[in-house]
């Protein structure tokens, strides 16, 4: 379970996350949406212990994120939007490093690397011998996802996890996270790809300018907003209702 | 600001687009001068406005220039030789700074994504890079020559024109160092393939540093060795000595030149013109394609593949792995060790930034062998500084390695250290330190041990001399981790940080470790020179005390630095 109580982050004069209250029960797959700069990544970074909140608190499975950060980190996995890795390492070396940082036994790490490589269809030679710098974006993303799951976390934070993944891998991944949620894992899924969120998530939270503007199942959001698709709900709640007209107007300025 | 049309036309003749050049150069300068992380972190606030590292570097050079320029008031030095001394110093510091920084400027393969697809000619791109470097070196040269340019007016035979004349010739110093290094890299780019470039470029930097440092050794010969009795007049070998060329130019611009000074100036200008021609015509034209090749080419992929020796490293429970597991008992420690080890052995960016400092370690014993010689200090109790300085330099290089390894183009991946449940920051620090000891310090000591053993025909004496330095290495390395979080490869590199930190570390090593070396020398001699009184510490007890103090400092500093705490969240 994840509990956020008036969680706030202020950078100089900018309030990135503004007193967010949320409760996410175990086993729920929650889509966490918002326009660019809404505060999604900042919220996730506070929950993963990467940055300290300005005020408020958060708990993960009853453990305070600030006071019991090490215990919390043992429970969580994180896929960052950047997909950054240490490119000089091979895939295996990177996953071994992460596994060790999570305190896993070497034999267990090796076993799990083999399973992830098999699942993501990464050739053994690639994983063992090729530096991550030579991997395609999609292959790198597979390694990053593997690194987030290698220690079998109870809570997983995904920030644009489908970046660079091909269509078949995306399908595989969507099925994977649904199954993980069904097994009792709590998943917070940040994405701009609304149709994926629409089809996979049990619950959708929309934030804008650091505040929660909507929270519920898709059906509840439809009923509350009177809109049909998540895309229209999202645009209405984040005050972007005239996008098509603006795009049409703008494209006319480039007509020759 | 609009450039005059004749400049635009002149640049266009060399296939350089003036507007693109100005735009790109403006971007590079903003990146260099704008705020980023200060390299000193003693408070929670991590960001300072402006590039603090660059400001500190400039401050240090202004101070050093003040001290050097002050010699004019204490010695009977003429304008020519004063200028030679100052130009020598300028050329050395500028060259070393470029070598420390150039890897990130000239071979920034991350730019290929940003600029590779733009309609930017290779020469325009190259010109922006070179000008960026030149402006950086001009800043350094300007800082170092601020006071000497003024003080030089009081040199014998000088006049008020010394100030502008020396200012201009100092700029040419910076230009020569920039052109020489950039052209050397460019020639290397053309001669070797992409696959070999990575390894060769790092070693070539050592050669360049040695070239400049040995060149600096000519200075005492120019000064006729005795600093207080300075040379007068001209010598034929000034024609081969770049600082003398620009000193000649200073005299010409002052209106005080004789024929030889004019000849010196002419040589300097001719060499600069030749390097410029080589750079523009030969190097600049291929630069863009080389950078793209660096990022995307087949050679790039091959160069980034892990070599079979590394890939064939034993997995599982071999003896080496077992020993490693014993020495690196904690998983987080092992993780940090493996990461740092991999980057030290394979990453070009790390090698290019670290290898120039290896030259200091090579320079001292080589200089010793070819000048006074390296005598066995335990025979006849005749202790020279060179054997001890060789060991001191290894400590300096190891500290430099720690600084280099804090920064990386892959710094964003360091999120993993903040997300993972690392119980003790000290585990990451310990793995980091141990990797530097294994891959930098121990090989350095092994090389010195072999050299001294062969020269003295006594491995026992070589071991006796080096043992205290090996013992204090862990404690010395703590300087890089003192009172701060030092995660490997976790920070974004910023211009000036490498050079400024190297200078600070060098000063520390020179002052503090020289004291240690001095005590060692006294312990070997058994007596205090000049006073000729017995030194109360026998050598074996000096080693024992070094061991006790080193252990005390090491564990004490670890506790004081709070290494028992967890990795803290970033404040921003």
Helix, strand and coil percent figures for chain B, each rounded to 5: 75, 0, 25
- A82's CB contacts (< 8 A; 6+ apart) are B412, B415
pLDDT at B429: 95
Closest Cα to residue B295, out of B147, B212, B409? B409
The domain total for chain B is 2
Closest Cα to residue B354, out of B182, B498, B496, B478? B498
In this predicted structure, the answer to whether residue B201 has a pLDDT above a threshold of 90 is: no
Percentage of chain A with pLDDT > 90? Answer: 43
In this predicted structure, the answer to whether residue A246 has a pLDDT above a threshold of 90 is: no
pLDDT (average), residues B76-85? 85
Distances (CA, A) of A226 to A1, A170, A232, A234: 30, 30, 9, 12
pLDDT band at B55 (very low <50, low <70, confident <90, very high): confident
Contact B311 A100 (CB under 8 A): no
Chain A residues closer than 8 Å to B35 by CB:
none
pLDDT at B37: 40
B312 domain-assigned:
no
Chain B nearest CA to A5, separation (Å): 19
pLDDT (average), residues B365-374? 64
Q: Are residues B238 and B349 in the same domain?
A: no
Give the dihedral of Cα atoms A151, A153, A156, A160; nearest 10 deg: 10
* Residue bearing the bigger pLDDT, B44 or B22: B22
Alpha carbons A100 and A94: distance in angstroms, whole number: 10
Alpha carbons A205 and A187: distance in angstroms, whole number: 13
Alpha carbons B447 and B470: distance in angstroms, whole number: 13
Contacts 24+ apart (CB under 8 A), B214-220: B214/B363, B214/B367, B215/B88, B215/B91, B215/B92, B215/B241, B215/B242, B216/B88, B216/B92, B217/B367, B218/B88, B219/B84, B219/B85, B219/B88
Identify residues of A whose CB sits under 8 angstroms from chain B CBs.
11, 48-52, 69-74, 76, 78, 80, 82, 84-90, 93, 96-104, 110, 128-131, 133-134, 147
pLDDT (average), residues B414-440? 93
Chain B residues closer than 8 Å to A51 by CB:
569-572
- Whether B49 and chain A come into contact, CB under 8 Å, resolves to no
pLDDT digits 0-9 by tens, A16-67:
899 999 999 999 999 999 888 888 989 998 998 888 899 999 999 999 998 8
Contact B311 A134 (CB under 8 A): no
Mean pLDDT across chain A, nearest whole number? Answer: 88
Q: Which class for B231: exposed (0-12), middle (13-18), buried (19 or more C-beta within 10 A)?
A: middle
pLDDT (average), residues B413-432? 93
- Whether B374 and chain A come into contact, CB under 8 Å, resolves to no
Alpha carbons A169 and A173: distance in angstroms, whole number: 6
Q: Are residues B469 and B508 in the same domain?
A: yes
Contact B332 A84 (CB under 8 A): no
Distances (CA, A) of B381 to B377, B457, B520, B525: 5, 16, 12, 5
Q: Are residues B105 and B242 in the same domain?
A: yes
Distances (CA, A) of B298 to B86, B193, B195, B294, B305: 46, 11, 9, 9, 11
The domains of chain A, with CATH numbers, are: 2-252 (3.40.50.300)
Closest Cα to residue B163, out of B101, B232, B86, B237? B86
Give phi and psi for A54, each to the nearest 5.
-75, -40
Alpha carbons A115 and A146: distance in angstroms, whole number: 10
Alpha carbons B201 and A37: distance in angstroms, whole number: 42
Q: Residue A73 in contact with residue B421, Cβ under 8 Å?
A: yes
Q: Are residues B270 and B344 in the same domain?
A: no
- Whether B237 and chain A come into contact, CB under 8 Å, resolves to no
pLDDT digits 0-9 by tens, B487-497:
999 988 766 66
In this predicted structure, the answer to whether residue B257 has a pLDDT above a threshold of 80 is: no
Least-confidence region, from B126-130, B320-324, B479-483: B320-324
Alpha carbons B227 and B82: distance in angstroms, whole number: 12
- B502's CB contacts (< 8 A; 6+ apart) are B96, B100, B357, B400, B403
Least-confidence region, from B20-24, B369-373, B553-557: B369-373
In this predicted structure, the answer to whether residue B50 has a pLDDT above a threshold of 90 is: no
In this predicted structure, the answer to whether residue B33 has a pLDDT above a threshold of 80 is: no
Q: Are residues B288 and B323 in the same domain?
A: no
Q: Residue length, chain B?
A: 572
**From the CA atom positions of chain B, what is the Rg in Å?**
25
Q: Residue B261 in contact with residue B252, Cβ under 8 Å?
A: yes
B307 domain-assigned:
no
Q: Whole-prediction pTM value? A: 0.76
Alpha carbons B504 and B448: distance in angstroms, whole number: 25
Chain A residues closer than 8 Å to B413 by CB:
84-87
Mean pLDDT across chain B, nearest whole number? Answer: 79
Alpha carbons B97 and B348: distance in angstroms, whole number: 18
Beta-strand runs (E) in B392-526: none
Among the partner residues B315, B342, B418, nearest to A49 by beta-carbon distance: B418
- Looking at residue B491, the DSSP 8-state letter turns out to be B
Burial A167-193 (b: 16+ CB within 10 A, else e): eebbeebbeebbebbeeebbbbbbbee
Contact B335 A49 (CB under 8 A): no
Q: Are residues B291 and B322 in the same domain?
A: no
- B542's CB contacts (< 8 A; 6+ apart) are B468, B519, B520, B523
B302 domain-assigned:
no
Contact B566 A70 (CB under 8 A): yes
Closest chain B residue by Cα to residue A94: B339
Chain A residues closer than 8 Å to B305 by CB:
129-131, 134
pLDDT (average), residues B325-337? 91
**Mutation for A interface: B331, B429, B572, most A CBs within 10 A:** B331
Closest chain B residue by Cα to residue A65: B569
In this predicted structure, the answer to whether residue A256 has a pLDDT above a threshold of 90 is: no
pLDDT band at B427 (very low <50, low <70, confident <90, very high): very high
* Residue bearing the bigger pLDDT, B170 or B284: B170
Closest Cα to residue B170, out of B62, B220, B243, B234? B243
Q: Which class for A139: exposed (0-12), middle (13-18), buried (19 or more C-beta within 10 A)?
A: buried
For B499, the enclosing helix (H) or strand (E) is helix B497-508
B387 domain-assigned:
yes
B303 domain-assigned:
no
pLDDT digits 0-9 by tens, B203-249:
777 777 777 666 666 555 555 544 444 556 777 778 888 888 999 99
pLDDT at B1: 56
pLDDT digits 0-9 by tens, A127-171:
999 989 889 888 999 999 999 999 999 999 999 888 888 888 888
- B30's CB contacts (< 8 A; 6+ apart) are none
3-state secondary structure chain A: CEEEEEEEEEECCEEEEEEEEEEECCCCEEEEECCCCCCHHHHHHHHCCCECCCEEEEEECCEECCCCHHHHHHHEEEECCCCCCCCCCEHHHHHHHHHHHCCCCHHHHHHHHHHHHHHCCCCHHHHHHEEHHHCCHHHHHHHHHHHHHCCCCCEEEEECCCCCCCHHHHHHHHHHHHHHHHCCCEEEEECCCHHHHHHHCCEEEEEECCEEEEEECHHHHHHHHCCCCHHHHHHHHCCCCCHHHHHHHHHHCCCC
Alpha carbons A171 and B208: distance in angstroms, whole number: 54
pLDDT digits 0-9 by tens, B290-315:
666 665 555 555 555 554 344 444 45
- Whether B303 and chain A come into contact, CB under 8 Å, resolves to no
Alpha carbons A231 and A217: distance in angstroms, whole number: 14
CA angle B530, B531, B536 (to 5 degrees): 120
Closest chain B residue by Cα to residue A127: B311
- Whether B322 and chain A come into contact, CB under 8 Å, resolves to no
Give phi and psi for B69, each to the nearest 5.
-65, -25
Helix (H, G, I), strand (E, B) or coil at B106: helix
Among the partner residues A51, A98, A131, nearest to B420 by beta-carbon distance: A98
- Looking at residue B281, the DSSP 8-state letter turns out to be I
Least-confidence region, from B257-266, B306-315, B435-444: B306-315
pLDDT digits 0-9 by tens, B371-401:
555 778 888 777 777 788 888 888 888 988 9
Among the partner residues A73, A89, A134, nearest to B420 by beta-carbon distance: A73
B398 domain-assigned:
yes
Chain A nearest CA to B488, separation (Å): 11
Helix (H, G, I), strand (E, B) or coil at B219: helix
Range of the domain at B235: 5-296
Q: How many CB pairs under 8 A join A and B?
A: 115
Q: Are residues B158 and B15 in the same domain?
A: yes
Query: Which residues 331-350 on chain B approach chain A with CB closer than 8 angstroms?
Result: 331-332, 334-335, 338-339, 342-343, 346-347
Q: Are residues B383 and B521 in the same domain?
A: yes
Alpha carbons B327 and B338: distance in angstroms, whole number: 13
Q: Are residues B89 and B145 in the same domain?
A: yes
Q: Residue B132 in contact with residue B105, Cβ under 8 Å?
A: yes
CA angle A81, A85, A90 (to 5 degrees): 145
Helix crossing, A137-149 with A167-182: angle to 10°?
10
Q: Residue B546 in contact with residue B472, Cβ under 8 Å?
A: yes
In this predicted structure, the answer to whether residue B93 has a pLDDT above a threshold of 90 is: no
Alpha carbons B212 and B198: distance in angstroms, whole number: 22
pLDDT at B353: 78
Distances (CA, A) of B421 to B170, B437, B549: 53, 26, 33
Q: Are residues B250 and B354 in the same domain?
A: no
**Mutation for B interface: A11, A86, A102, most B CBs within 10 A:** A86
pLDDT at B314: 46
Bridging pattern class, strands A186-190 and A29-33 = parallel
pLDDT at B38: 35
pLDDT (average), residues B258-263? 87
Q: Residue B406 in contact with residue B487, Cβ under 8 Å?
A: yes
Closest chain B residue by Cα to residue A53: B571
pLDDT at B307: 47
pLDDT digits 0-9 by tens, A192-237:
888 888 888 999 999 988 999 999 998 888 888 887 777 777 877 7
Chain B nearest CA to A104, separation (Å): 8
Q: Are residues B229 and B365 in the same domain?
A: no
ipTM of the assembly?
0.74
B180 domain-assigned:
yes
B569 domain-assigned:
no
Q: Residue B475 in contact with residue B554, Cβ under 8 Å?
A: yes
Chain A residues closer than 8 Å to B412 by CB:
80, 82, 84
Q: Are residues B407 and B267 in the same domain?
A: no
């Amino acid at each position: 379970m994840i509990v956020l109580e008036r969680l706030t982050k202020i950078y100089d004069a900018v309030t990135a996350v503004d007193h967010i209250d949320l409760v996410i029960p175990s086993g729920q797959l929650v889509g966490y949406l918002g326009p660019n700069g809404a505060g999604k990544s900042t919220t996730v970074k506070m929950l993963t212990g990467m940055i300290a909140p300005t005020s408020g608190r958060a708990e993960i499975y009853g453990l305070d994120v600030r006071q019991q950060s090490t215990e919390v980190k043992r429970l969580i996995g994180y896929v960052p939007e950047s997909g950054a890795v240490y490119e000089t390492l091979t895939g295996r070396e990177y996953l071994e490093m992460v596994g060790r940082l999570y305190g896993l036994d070497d034999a267990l790490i090796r076993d799990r690397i083999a399973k992830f490589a098999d699942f993501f269809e990464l050739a053994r030679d690639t994983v063992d011998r090729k530096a991550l710098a030579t991997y395609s974006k999609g292959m790198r993303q597979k390694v990053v996802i593997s690194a987030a799951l290698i220690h079998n976390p109870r809570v997983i934070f995904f920030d644009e996890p489908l970046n660079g993944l091909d269509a078949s891998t995306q399908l595989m991944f969507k099925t994977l996270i649904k199954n993980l949620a069904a097994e009792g894992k709590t998943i917070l899924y940040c994405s701009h790809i609304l149709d994926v969120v629409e089809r996979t998530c049990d619950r959708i939270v929309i934030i804008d300018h650091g505040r929660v503007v909507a929270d519920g199942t898709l059906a509840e959001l439809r009923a509350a907003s009177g809109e049909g698709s998540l895309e229209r709900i999202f645009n209405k709640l984040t005050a972007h209702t005239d996008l098509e007209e603006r795009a049409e107007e703008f494209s006319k300025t480039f007509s020759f | 600001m609009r450039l005059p049309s004749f400049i635009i036309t002149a640049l266009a003749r060399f296939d350089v687009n003036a507007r693109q050049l100005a735009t790109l150069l403006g971007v590079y300068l903003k990146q260099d001068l704008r705020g980023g992380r200060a390299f000193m972190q003693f408070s929670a606030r991590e960001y300072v406005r402006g590039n603090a590292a660059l400001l500190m570097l400039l401050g240090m050079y202004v101070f050093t220039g003040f001290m050097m320029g002050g010699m004019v008031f204490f010695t009977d030095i003429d304008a020519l030789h004063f200028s030679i001394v100052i130009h020598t110093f300028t050329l050395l510091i500028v060259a070393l700074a470029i070598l420390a920084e150039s890897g990130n400027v000239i071979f920034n393969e991350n730019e290929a994504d940003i600029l590779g697809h733009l309609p930017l000619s290779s020469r325009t791109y190259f010109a922006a890079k070179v000008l960026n470097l030149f402006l950086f070196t001009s800043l350094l040269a300007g800082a170092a020559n601020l006071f000497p340019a003024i003080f030089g007016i009081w040199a014998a035979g000088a006049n008020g024109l010394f100030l502008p004349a020396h200012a201009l010739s100092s700029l040419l110093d910076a230009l020569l160092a920039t052109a020489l290094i950039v052209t050397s890299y460019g020639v290397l780019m053309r001669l070797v393939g992409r696959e070999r470039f990575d390894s060769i470029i790092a070693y070539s930097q050592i050669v360049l540093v040695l070239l400049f440092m040995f060149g600096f050794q000519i200075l005492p010969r120019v000064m006729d060795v005795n600093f207080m009795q300075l040379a007068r007049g001209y010598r034929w070998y000034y024609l081969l000595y770049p600082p003398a060329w620009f000193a000649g130019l200073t005299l010409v611009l002052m209106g005080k030149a004789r024929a030889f000074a004019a000849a010196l100036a002419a040589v300097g200008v001719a060499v600069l013109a030749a390097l410029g021609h080589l750079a523009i015509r030969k190097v600049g034209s291929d630069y863009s394609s080389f950078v793209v090749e660096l990022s995307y080419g087949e050679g790039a992929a091959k160069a980034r593949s892990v070599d079979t020796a590394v890939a064939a490293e034993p997995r599982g429970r071999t003896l080496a792995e077992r020993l490693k597991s014993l020495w690196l008992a904690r998983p987080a420690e092992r993780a940090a060790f493996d990461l740092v080890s991999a980057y030290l052995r394979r990453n070009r960016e790390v090698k290019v930034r670290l290898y120039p400092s290896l030259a200091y370690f090579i320079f001292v014993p080589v200089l010793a062998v070819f000048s006074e010689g390296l005598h066995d200090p335990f025979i006849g109790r005749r202790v020279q500084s060179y054997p001890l300085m060789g060991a001191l330099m290894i400590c300096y290089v190891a500290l430099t390695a720690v600084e280099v390894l804090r920064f990386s183009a892959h710094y964003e991946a360091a999120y993993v250290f903040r997300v993972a449940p690392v119980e003790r920051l000290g585990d990451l620090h310990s793995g980091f330190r141990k990797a530097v000891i294994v891959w930098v310090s121990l090989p350095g000591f092994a090389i010195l041990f072999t050299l001294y053993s062969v020269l003295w025909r006594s491995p026992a004496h070589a071991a006796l001399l080096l043992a205290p330095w090996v013992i204090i290495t862990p404690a010395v390395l703590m300087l890089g981790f003192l009172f701060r979080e030092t995660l490997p490869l976790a920070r974004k590199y910023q211009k000036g940080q490498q050079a400024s930190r190297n200078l600070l570390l060098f000063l520390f090593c020179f002052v503090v470790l020289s004291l240690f070396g001095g005590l060692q020398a006294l312990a070997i001699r058994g007596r205090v020179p000049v006073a000729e009184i017995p030194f109360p510490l026998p050598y074996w007890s000096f080693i024992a005390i070094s061991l006790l103090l080193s252990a005390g400092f090491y564990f004490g500093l670890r506790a004081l630095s709070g290494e028992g705490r967890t990795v803290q969240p970033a404040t921003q």
